[in-house]
Amino acid sequence: MKKNVLILFLVCFCILAEAQGRRKNQSAVHAEYGYVMEKADLSAGFMVKGGYIKVFGEKGFLGKVEGFYQDYEISYLDNQILPYHKYGLNVNAGYSYEGLAPVYINGWLGGYAGYETVNDGNSKDPKYNAEIPVPVKGFVYGISGSAEIEFAFARKFSFLANYTQFYDLKSEFSKSNYGLFGGFRYYIN
């Protein structure tokens, strides 16, 4: 029985693996869910991303725009834990190595703008009821980059796995964070 399942899996893999190829001006939408890793004052949490990509020409150049939402916690004075939320828009240029098709290795670099809320927008800390000396909500911006592996398992569908790094240039609470993501991409045309 196990042998038959393995053979069926390999046959399906071989048939579906050749079904996807990148074309000039191709477009796709994607959705990803990820885990933001614990780092310094940031505790682990989750992040979701969804967006649109476009293939430019036949040399592997890509562009994407995506919306994101981050939800995790940060450490504050005297071991206080404050909730942290950020949502925004990320715009990246990218390049895809397609020599291993149906597996693509994509690299992305760009910037983002977003809105962050710390301590649910409350400007007083929960332990001492003291005023937090920096703004607890407002617009932020920064640089982002991703290393992504895409496996085209069907003509219009791909699995995604990526590592994404965010460098905040404006936030007082979140200077740098990264996450591991998994998701799907659907090619529209």
Question: What pLDDT score does 19 carry?
Answer: 45
Give 144's contacts (C-beta < 8 A, 6+ positions apart): 90, 92, 108, 109, 110, 111, 112, 164, 165, 166, 167
- Residue 32: how many CB atoms within 10 A of its CB? 24
Residues 178/159, Cβ–Cβ less than 8 Å? no
159-179, pLDDT tens digit by residue?
999 999 999 998 888 888 889
- Assigned fold of 2-187: Porin (2.40.160)
43-79, pLDDT tens digit by residue?
778 999 999 999 998 888 999 999 999 998 888 888 8
- Domain spans of the chain, in order of start: 2-187
Q: Give dist(CA 138, CA 171) in Å, integer.
A: 9
Q: Give dist(CA 105, CA 71) in Å, integer.
A: 28
